[in-house]
Structure 1
Amino acid sequence: MIGIVLKELWGRKRRLAGSLIAVFLGVTFLTGTLVLGDTLAGSIDGYFSRAYGETDVSIRNSTSVSDAPWSARGEIDASVLERVRKVNGVANAEPYIQGSGQLLAKDGTTIQSRGPRTAGNWMTDPKLNPYRLAEGRAPRAPDEVVIDKMFADKGKLKVGDRTAVLTPDRVAVTVVGISRFGDQDAFGETSFTAFSLEGARRHVTRTPGLVTGVWLRAADGVGQDELAARVRPVLAPGTEAVTGKAQVDEGMTMVEDGFLRVFRIVLGAFGGVALLVAAFSIHNTFAITTAQRTRESALLRALGAGRRQVVTLVGVEALVVGGAATLAGLAGGYGFAALLRQLFTQLKIGIAMEGLVVSATSVLIAAPVGIAVTLVAALGPALKASRVPPLAALREVAVEAGRPSDTRVIVGGVLAAVAAGTVVLGAVGEQTAMAAAGAVLTVVAMVVLGPVAARPVAALAGGPAARLRGVSGRLARDNAGRSPARTAGAATALMIGVGVVTLLTVFIGSLRANLEDGVAGSFKGAIVVDGGSNETAGFSTALAGQAARLPQIQNAAGLGNGNMRVDGKNAGVHVGDPSALRRVLDLDVRQGSLADPGAFAVSKKVADDKGWRAGSAVGVQFADGARQTLRIGAVYENADLVGDYLVPRTVWNAHTRQPLDLMAFVELRPGASAGDVRQALTALAKPYGAPEVETRDAFVSRQTEEMNGFIGVVYGMLILAIVIALLGIANTLSLSVHERTRELGLLRAVGATRPQVRSMIRWESVIVALFGTAGGLGLGLFLGWGLGTALGNPFAPQAVQVTIIAVVGTVAGALAAIRPARRAARLGILSAIASV
C-alpha cells in the first residue's frame, strides 16, 4: 500500500503541488502568528523582569484601581522607609517615586509617544535601578534630570541642555545625564525623566512625607519570600510587601488576560481563515484527483482491495502531503514571524521585539492542525473513492456528478433560512452572540449551497463572455457549469477570503462611522485642545480656565481621565467640571442635571445595567485608598467623549497631586474668527507643552486615525488567504486541463487556435473568480451589517474599498489562469487525442 502511495505521489506531483503549497502557506501563516504572539509575550516578560532591577521586595499601596499592567498606585507614608531598613535581612532600601511628567523637546513642544510620560527619582543603588547611565551623571540638584536616550534623540536634547518638564506645572530643568533601560533606549515607549530624590518630592509627589513605594534588596542568603514575610509586621495598614517575582507574574497575568489575549485571538483568527481557505483548496484537489482515478480505484476493488484499504490509500497520501507541507510550513512560519515583527515594529506598538521566541506550545498547535486539516479535507474524496464498484473498471464512468443532489438543496436551503433569520434577529435585538452564531451558520450554508448555485451563476457570469468572445466564451461558460461541485469548491476558497476582508472593511467602517457620529453629535463647539491619548499625557487644568477668559471664547471646559474602583470594580473614569462641560458638550441627559459642578454622573448603559438612577448612592475608592460614597447627579446617553463615569474635578483633585486635562473643548462667541482663536489658543498653550489646537472636524477625524494602521495590518495579513484561494483556482484549472487533454486535442483538431484555447481557460477562471468574489462580497456585506448592527453601530460600507475588493478578486482570477491556459494551449494535437 505504501509503495502505491509513493508511486501515485511521484506520478502526479504536478497535481499535488497546489495542495502542498496551500498547506504550506496555511501552516506558515498560523505558525507565524503564534510565534509573533510568543515573541511579544517574551518581550513583555523581559520588560517586566528588568523593570524592577534586582529588587527583591517592594512596599506599595495595597489599593489597585486599574487592570492595566503599568498603572500607578497611590502614595504611601515615607516613614516606612526607616522601619524596613531596620528589618534583619534588608541589605538596602530606597524610596521610589513615579508620577506624571512630560519632558519637553528642545523647541519647547511635547515629545510625542504612544507610551506613558512619567517622572520620578533616580535610584542611587545600581542593583535596584533598572536604568543605566549612557552619558553624563546622576542628578544632584532638584532641577537636574536624567532622561531616556530615545526621548533625548526625539527631543534633540543632549547633556547640558536646558528644557522643561510638565508635572503638570512647568519645571525648568538641566539635562545632566542620558540613560538606557538595559540594552534598550527606553522602557518600550515610556518616557521616564529622573530627578534627584529631593526634586521628585518637590515636583512629583509635592509632599515630602509621601512616596510611591519602597524597593528592597535582600542580604545574601535571604530569599524574596522570606524577606517579604519579615517586613510585613512593620507595615502600616493600606500597604503591602510584594516579592519581585510576584510583581513580574502579576504584570504578566494582566497582560496575558488583557492585551496579549486579544492579540493572540486576532492573530489566531487570521491563521484560522488561512487554513480554512487552504482546506477548500486541498479538498478540491483531492476530489478532482480521486474522480480522475475512478477506474483505478475500481481496478483495486476488482483485485480484492477492500473499501477500508481504498480509504487508507487516499488517507496515507493526504498524510504524506500534509506532513511534508506542515514541516515546511513550520520553517516558513519562523520567517513569516520575522516579517510580521518588522511590520509591527514599524507601527510602533510600544514594545521592541528584538528576537523571535518559539514556544513548544505553538509548534504543538501548528503541526497537528496542519496535518489534521489535510486529512479532514481529503476524507470526503477518500470515502467517495471507496464506494466505487469493481464493475466500474470495465466501463466508462463519469468522474463527477453533473448536478447536486436533492438532499443538498433541501439541507442547504433550510440552513440558509435559519442562518439568515438568526443574523437578522441578533442584529435587530442587538444580541451579538446570536448574530455571531448566525454568521457561522451562514458560512456553512453557503458552502453547502455552493454547488447548487454554481451552474446558474456560471451561466449568468459567463453570459458577457459568451457574447463578447464567441465560441471561447461559450465553452468557458459551459465548462464552469459542467462540474458544479468543482466550480463551487474553487470559488468557495476565494469567497471566504473575500468575505472576511469585506466583513472587516464594513465592520471597521461601521465603527468609524459610529465614533464620528458620536463625537460629532456630542461636541458642537469649534475648537479642541488635544493633549494626548493616555492618562500621563495632557496638560495642566489651569489651561481651560485661562482659555475661558479670552474675549473671543464663550465657554471652555477641560476633560481628564483616570482610574478608580466603582461599586467594587476597577473602572476607567473621566474627570471634569460637569457644569462647564454641559455648556460645550451635548451629553443628552436623561435624568437629573449637570448644573452642579460637584455632580457625579453615569451613562444610561451603566445605570440600566446596575439598576441606578439619579439620586442613587454609589461607593467608590480612589488610588490613595480613600473610600467615599457619591450620589448620582445625572444620567446621560452620549458617552462617546466622557465614557461611562464622569467624576467631578472637585472630588477627584482631593485624591491626586497631579491633576491633568487630556483635552479642552472650546465654544466661540458669536462673530469670533476660528482662525484668530486658534492662534490665540496656540500661544496660550505653548507653556503647557504646546498641545494640538485643532478644529472640531480635524479632532473628529483624529479620533479614527489609529484605525487606519489596524486596517493596513488586517489587509496585509489577509492577502495570504486570498493568495491561497487563487492558488486553489489555478490548481483546479490545471487539473481540469489534464482531465480534458483529449477534449482540448479534439478542439484543436477541428480548428480551435491556441489563442482561443487560452482565452477559454482564462474566461473559465474569471467566471470562477466572479462567483467567489460576488459570493464573498455578499457574505461580507450581510455579516458586516448583522454584526455591526448587533453592536449598535450604523451600517456604513465603504464604497471605494468594496469596489477595490471586487476588482482585485476578478483580476486575480484572470491572473490565476495564466499558467493553466498556457499549458492547455501548448498541448500537442495528436498526443492529446491519443491520451486516455
Structure 2
Amino acid sequence: MTGLVFKDLWGRKRRMAGSLVAVFLGVTFLTGTLVLGDTLASSIDGYFSGAYGKSDVSVRNATKVSDSPWGARGQIDASVLAKVRGVDGVANAEPVIQGSGQLLAKDGTTIASRGPRTAGNWLNDPKLNPYRLAEGRAPRAPDEVVINKMFADEGELKVGDRTAVLTPERVPVTVVGISKFGDEDAFGETSFTAFSLEGAQRYVAKSPGRISSVAIRAAGGVSQDELAARVRPVLPAGTEAVTNRAQVDEGMTAVQDGFLKTFRIVLGAFGGVALFVAAFSIHNTFAITMAQRTRESALLRALGAGRRQIVAFAGIEALVIGGAATLAGLAGGFGFAALLRLLFTAFRIGIAMEGLTVSATTLLVAVPAGLLVTLVAALGPALRASRVRPLAALREVAAEPSRPSDTRLVVGGVLAAVAAGTVVLGASGGQVAMAAAGAVLCLVAMVVLGPAVARPAAAVTGAPAARLRGVPGVLARGNATRSPRRTAGAATALMIGVGVVTLLTVFVGSLRASLEDGVAGSFDGPLVVDGGGNETGGFAPRLVDEAARLPQVGGVAGLGTGNMRVGGRVATVSVGDPSALRRVLDLDVSQGSLAGPGTFAVSKKTAGDRGWHAGTRVGLTFADGASQQVTVGAVYDRTDLTGDYLVPWTIWDAHTEQPLVTRAFVDLKPGAPVASARAALTALAKPYGAPEVETRDAFVTAQTSDMNGFIAVVYGMLALAIIIALLGIANTLSLSVHERTRELGLLRAVGATRAQIRSMIRWESLIVALFGTAGGLGLGVFLGWGLGAALGNPFAAPPVQLGVIALAGAVAGALAAIRPARRPAGGAILASIAAP
C-alpha cells in the first residue's frame, strides 16, 4: 500500500506540489509567529535579568500601585541605607534614585520614546550598575549627566554638549558620559539620564532624605535568599527586601500575563487563520483528485481492496505530503520569523530582538498542527472515495454531486441564523464574548453553506462576463456553477482571508470614530497642548498657569495620569483640577458636581460596577504608602479623555514629587484667532520641551497614530493567508482544467481559439475570486459591526479601504488564472481529445 502511495504521488507531481505549497506556507506562517513570540519572551527575560545589574537584593517601598512591570514605587527614607550596610553578609549597598526625567535633544525638543523617560543617579559600583560607560566619565557635579547611547544618537548629543533635562522643571546639564545597557544602546526604548547622587537627590528625589531603593551586593558565600532574610529585620514598616531573582520573575510574570500573552494570542490567531485557509486549499485539492480517481478507487475495490484500505491509501498520502511540507515549513518558519523580527523592530515595538529563540512548545504545536490539518482536510474526500462501488470501475461516474444535499441546507441555515442572532445579541447587549462566539459560528456556517450558495452566487457574479465576453464568458459562468462544492472550496479560503482583513479594517474604523465622537462630545475647544502618551512624559504644571494668562486664552485645564489603589484595586487615574476641567470639557455629569477643586469623580460604568454613587466614601492608597478616604463628588459618563477615575491635583500633589501634565485643553476668548493663539502657545511651550500644540482634529489623529503601524503589520501578515488562498484557487483551476482536458480539446476542435480558452479560464478564476471577495467583505463588515458595537463603538466602515480590498480581490483572481490558463490553450487538439 505504501509503495502504491509513493508511486501515485510521483506520477502526479503537479497535484502533489499544490498541496505541498499550501501546507508549507501555513506551517511557515504558524512556526514564524510562534518563534517570534519565543524570541520576544527570551529578549524581555534577558532585559529583566540585566535590569538590576549584579545586585543580589533590593530594598524598596512595599506598596504596589501598578500592574506594569515598569511601574514606579514610592520613595523610602534614606536612613535605610545605613541600616542595610551594617547587616552581616552585605558586601556593598548603594542608594538608587529613579523618577521622571526627559532628556532634551540638541534642538531643545523632547526626544520621542515609547519607553519610560527616566532619570536617577549613577551607581559607582559597576557590579550594581546595569549600565556601563561607553564614552566619557561618570558625573561628579550636580549638573553633570551620563546619557544612554540610543538617545544620545537620536538627540544628536555627544560628550561635552550642553542640554537640559525636565524633571519636570528644566535643569540645564552637561553631558559628560554616554552609557550602554550591556551590549545594547538602551534598555528597550527607556531613556535613562544619570546624575551624580547629589544631583539626583536635588532634581529627581527633590529631597536629600529620600531615595527610591537600595541595591545590595552579597558577600561571598551568602545566597540571595539568605541575604534578604538577614536584611528584613532591620527594615522599617512599609519597606521590603526582595531578591534579584524574585524581581526578575515578578517583571516577567507581569509581561507574560499582559503584553506578551496578548502578543502571542494575536500572532497565534494569524497563524491559525493561515492554516485554516491552507486546509481549504488542501481539502479542495484532495476532493478534486479523489473525484478524478473515482474509477481508480472503484477498480481497487473490484480487485479486493476494502473501504479501510482506500481511506488508509488517502491517509498515508496526506501524511506524506503533510510531513514533508511540515518539515519544510519549520525551516521556512525560521526565515519568516527573522523577517517578522525585522518588521517589528522597524515599527519600534520597544525591544531589540537579537537572534531567534525556539521553545519545545513551538515544535509541539507546529508539527502536529501541520500533520493534523493535512490529514483532516483529506479525510472527507477519502471517505467519499471509499464509498465508490466496484461496479463504477466499468462505467463513467460523475466526479461530484451537482447540488448540495438537503441536510447541508438545513444545518447550514440553522447555523447561520443562530450565528447571526448571537452576534446581534452580543452587539446590542454589549457582550463581547457573545459577539466573538457568534463570529466563530458565522465561519462554521459559511463553510457549511458555501456549496449551497456557490451556484447562485457564481451565476450572479458571472452574469456580466456572460453578457459582455460572449462564449468564453458564458462557458466560464457555466463552469463555476457546474461544481458548486469545488467553487465554494476555492472561494471560501479567499473569503476567510478577506473577511479577517475587512473585520480589522471596520473595527479600527469604528474605534477611530468612537474616539472622534468622544473627543468631539467632550471638548469643543480649538487647541490641545499634547505632551504625548508616555507614562513618564509630559510637562510641568507651570505651563498651564502661564497659558491661562495669555490674552487669547479663555480657559485652560491640564490633565495628567498616575497610578494608585482605588477602593483596594490597582488603577490608572487621571489627575486634574475638576473645576477648571468642567469649563473646557463636557464630561456629562449625571450625579454631583465638578465645581469644587478637590472633587474626586468616577465614571458611571465604574460607579455601577462597584456600587458607588455621589457621596460614597472611597479609600485611596498612594505609591508612597499613604492612604486617604475621599468622597465621590461626581459621577460622569464620558470617559474618552479622563478614563474611569478623576483625582484632583490637591490630593495627588501631596504624594508625588514630580507632578506631570500630559495634555492641556485650551479654549479661546470669543473672536480670538486660532493661528495667533497657537503661535503664542508654541512659543510658551518651547522651554518645556516643546510639546506639540495641536488643533483638535490633529489631536484625535495623533491618538490613533499608533494603530497605523499595528494595522500595517497585521495587513502584511494577513497577506500571506490571502496568498495561500490564491494558490488554492490556482491549484483548483489547474486540476479542474486537467480534468476537462478532453472537453477543452473538443472546444478547440469546433472552432474555439486559444485566446478564447485562456479567456474562459481567466473569467472562471475571476468569478471564484469575486465570489470569495464579496463574501469576505460582507462577513467582515457584519462581524466588524458586531464586535465594535459590543464595545460601544459606532459603526464606521471606511469606504476607500474596503474599495481597495475589493479591487485587490478581483486583481488577485485574475493573477491566479495566469498559469492554469496557459497550459490547455497551448496543448495539441488531438492529444487533448484522446485524453482519458
TM range (shorter): over 0.9
Identify the residue that residue 624 of structure 2 maps to in structure 1. Answer: 624
Identify the residue that residue 215 of structure 1 maps to in structure 2. Answer: 215
Letter in 1 for 2:201: R
Identify the residue that residue 689 of structure 1 maps to in structure 2. Answer: 689
Q: Do 1:513 and 1:796's aligned partners in 2 also have CA atoms closer than 8 Å?
A: yes
Q: Which has the larger displacement, 281-290 or 153-162?
A: 153-162
SS in 2 for 1:661: coil
Letter in 2 for 1:702: A
TM-score by length of 2: 0.99
Identify the residue that residue 780 of structure 2 maps to in structure 1. Answer: 780
Query: Residues 257-294 of structure 1, C-alpha deviation per residue, up to 9 Å, x if partnerless?
Result: 00000001011111111110000000000000011111
The 5 Å alignment of 1:203-352 reads 203-352=203-352
* Deviation of the 1:756 alpha carbon: 0.7
Query: Residues 125-175 of structure 1, C-alpha deviation per residue, up to 9 Å, x if partnerless?
Result: 000001111111101111111111111111111111111111111111111
Identify the residue that residue 764 of structure 1 maps to in structure 2. Answer: 764
* Deviation of the 1:475 alpha carbon: 0.8
* Deviation of the 1:454 alpha carbon: 1.2
Q: Which has the larger displacement, 443-452 or 92-101?
A: 443-452
SS in 2 for 1:274: helix
* Deviation of the 1:207 alpha carbon: 1.2
Identify the residue that residue 108 of structure 2 maps to in structure 1. Answer: 108
Tell me, in whole angstroms, the C-alpha distance in 2 between the residues paired with 1:392 and 1:143: 93
Query: Residues 347-397 of structure 1, C-alpha deviation per residue, up to 9 Å, x if partnerless?
Result: 011111121111111111111101110001011011111111111111111
Q: Do 2:113 and 2:534's aligned partners in 1 also have CA atoms closer than 8 Å?
A: no
Identify the residue that residue 93 of structure 1 maps to in structure 2. Answer: 93
SS in 1 for 2:207: coil
Q: Do 2:162 and 2:174's aligned partners in 1 also have CA atoms closer than 8 Å?
A: yes
Letter in 2 for 1:189: E
Letter in 2 for 1:710: F
Identify the residue that residue 37 of structure 2 maps to in structure 1. Answer: 37
* Deviation of the 1:18 alpha carbon: 1.2
Tell me, in whole angstroms, the C-alpha distance in 2 between the residues paired with 1:736 and 1:34: 36
The 5 Å alignment of 1:65-76 reads 65-76=65-76
Tell me, in whole angstroms, the C-alpha distance in 1 between the residues paired with 2:46 and 2:650: 40
The 5 Å alignment of 1:459-498 reads 459-498=459-498
Tell me, in whole angstroms, the C-alpha distance in 1 between the residues paired with 2:245 and 2:382: 54
Identify the residue that residue 519 of structure 2 maps to in structure 1. Answer: 519
Tell me, in whole angstroms, the C-alpha distance in 1 between the residues paired with 2:102 and 2:787: 40
Query: Residues 453-493 of structure 1, C-alpha deviation per residue, up to 9 Å, x if partnerless?
Result: 11111111111111111111111111111111001100100
Query: Residues 190-221 of structure 1, C-alpha deviation per residue, up to 9 Å, x if partnerless?
Result: 11110011110111111111110000001111
* Deviation of the 1:556 alpha carbon: 0.9
Equivalent residues, number: 836
Letter in 1 for 2:426: G
Q: Which runs of 4+ in 1 moved over 6 A?
A: none
**Counterpart check, 1:158 vs 2:158:** yes
Q: Do 2:587 and 2:638's aligned partners in 1 also have CA atoms closer than 8 Å?
A: yes
Identify the residue that residue 809 of structure 1 maps to in structure 2. Answer: 809
Tell me, in whole angstroms, the C-alpha distance in 2 between the residues paired with 1:408 and 1:158: 72
Tell me, in whole angstroms, the C-alpha distance in 2 between the residues paired with 1:672 and 1:276: 59
Tell me, in whole angstroms, the C-alpha distance in 1 between the residues paired with 2:285 and 2:739: 12
Tell me, in whole angstroms, the C-alpha distance in 1 between the residues paired with 2:178 and 2:439: 54
SS in 2 for 1:156: coil
Identify the residue that residue 643 of structure 2 maps to in structure 1. Answer: 643
Query: Residues 328-363 of structure 1, C-alpha deviation per residue, up to 9 Å, x if partnerless?
Result: 000001000111111111101111112111111111
Tell me, in whole angstroms, the C-alpha distance in 2 between the residues paired with 1:63 and 1:243: 17
SS in 2 for 1:401: coil
SS in 1 for 2:295: helix
Tell me, in whole angstroms, the C-alpha distance in 1 between the residues paired with 2:108 and 2:702: 23
* Deviation of the 1:30 alpha carbon: 0.5
Letter in 2 for 1:112: A
The 5 Å alignment of 1:598-617 reads 598-617=598-617
Identify the residue that residue 738 of structure 1 maps to in structure 2. Answer: 738
Q: Do 2:531 and 2:661's aligned partners in 1 also have CA atoms closer than 8 Å?
A: yes
The 5 Å alignment of 1:560-571 reads 560-571=560-571
List runs of 5+ in structure 1 lacking aligned partners. Answer: none
Tell me, in whole angstroms, the C-alpha distance in 2 between the residues paired with 1:697 and 1:34: 39
Letter in 2 for 1:746: L
Letter in 2 for 1:148: N
Tell me, in whole angstroms, the C-alpha distance in 2 between the residues paired with 1:643 and 1:280: 44
Q: Do 1:144 and 1:174's aligned partners in 2 also have CA atoms closer than 8 Å?
A: yes
The 5 Å alignment of 1:77-156 reads 77-156=77-156
Query: Residues 226-274 of structure 1, C-alpha deviation per residue, up to 9 Å, x if partnerless?
Result: 1111111111111111100110010000000000000010111111111
Tell me, in whole angstroms, the C-alpha distance in 2 between the residues paired with 1:388 and 1:217: 77
Q: Which has the larger displacement, 336-345 or 691-700?
A: 691-700
SS in 2 for 1:539: coil
SS in 1 for 2:469: helix
Q: Do 1:35 and 1:362's aligned partners in 2 also have CA atoms closer than 8 Å?
A: yes
SS in 2 for 1:354: coil
Q: Do 1:535 and 1:560's aligned partners in 2 also have CA atoms closer than 8 Å?
A: no
Tell me, in whole angstroms, the C-alpha distance in 2 between the residues paired with 1:504 and 1:23: 25
Tell me, in whole angstroms, the C-alpha distance in 2 between the residues paired with 1:107 and 1:478: 69
Tell me, in whole angstroms, the C-alpha distance in 2 between the residues paired with 1:156 and 1:397: 77
Tell me, in whole angstroms, the C-alpha distance in 2 between the residues paired with 1:185 and 1:178: 10
Q: Do 1:773 and 1:806's aligned partners in 2 also have CA atoms closer than 8 Å?
A: yes
SS in 2 for 1:795: coil
Identify the residue that residue 793 of structure 1 maps to in structure 2. Answer: 793
SS in 1 for 2:132: strand
Letter in 2 for 1:706: D
Letter in 1 for 2:277: V
SS in 2 for 1:733: helix
- State the superposition RMSD in angstroms: 0.8
Letter in 2 for 1:212: S
Identify the residue that residue 675 of structure 1 maps to in structure 2. Answer: 675
Tell me, in whole angstroms, the C-alpha distance in 2 between the residues paired with 1:179 and 1:697: 40
Q: Which has the larger displacement, 678-687 or 366-375?
A: 678-687
**Counterpart check, 1:404 vs 2:404:** yes
Q: Do 2:206 and 2:657's aligned partners in 1 also have CA atoms closer than 8 Å?
A: yes
User: Equivalent pairs: percent with the same residue?
Assistant: 78
Tell me, in whole angstroms, the C-alpha distance in 1 between the residues paired with 2:771 and 2:697: 41
Identify the residue that residue 388 of structure 1 maps to in structure 2. Answer: 388
Q: Do 1:520 and 1:700's aligned partners in 2 also have CA atoms closer than 8 Å?
A: no
Identify the residue that residue 168 of structure 1 maps to in structure 2. Answer: 168
Identify the residue that residue 510 of structure 1 maps to in structure 2. Answer: 510
SS in 2 for 1:702: helix
Tell me, in whole angstroms, the C-alpha distance in 1 between the residues paired with 2:705 and 2:615: 39
Letter in 1 for 2:393: A
Q: Do 2:146 and 2:176's aligned partners in 1 also have CA atoms closer than 8 Å?
A: yes
Tell me, in whole angstroms, the C-alpha distance in 2 between the residues paired with 1:198 and 1:38: 42
Tell me, in whole angstroms, the C-alpha distance in 2 between the residues paired with 1:418 and 1:216: 62
Tell me, in whole angstroms, the C-alpha distance in 2 between the residues paired with 1:694 and 1:471: 60
Q: Do 1:425 and 1:435's aligned partners in 2 also have CA atoms closer than 8 Å?
A: yes
Tell me, in whole angstroms, the C-alpha distance in 2 between the residues paired with 1:570 and 1:534: 19
SS in 1 for 2:619: strand
Query: Residues 709-743 of structure 1, C-alpha deviation per residue, up to 9 Å, x if partnerless?
Result: 11111111100000000000000000001101111
**Counterpart check, 1:433 vs 2:433:** yes
* Deviation of the 1:697 alpha carbon: 1.7
List runs of 5+ in structure 2 lacking aligned partners. Answer: none
SS in 1 for 2:330: helix
Identify the residue that residue 547 of structure 2 maps to in structure 1. Answer: 547
Tell me, in whole angstroms, the C-alpha distance in 1 between the residues paired with 2:107 and 2:775: 55
Letter in 1 for 2:796: A
SS in 2 for 1:550: coil
* Deviation of the 1:535 alpha carbon: 2.5
Letter in 1 for 2:466: A
* Deviation of the 1:302 alpha carbon: 1.1
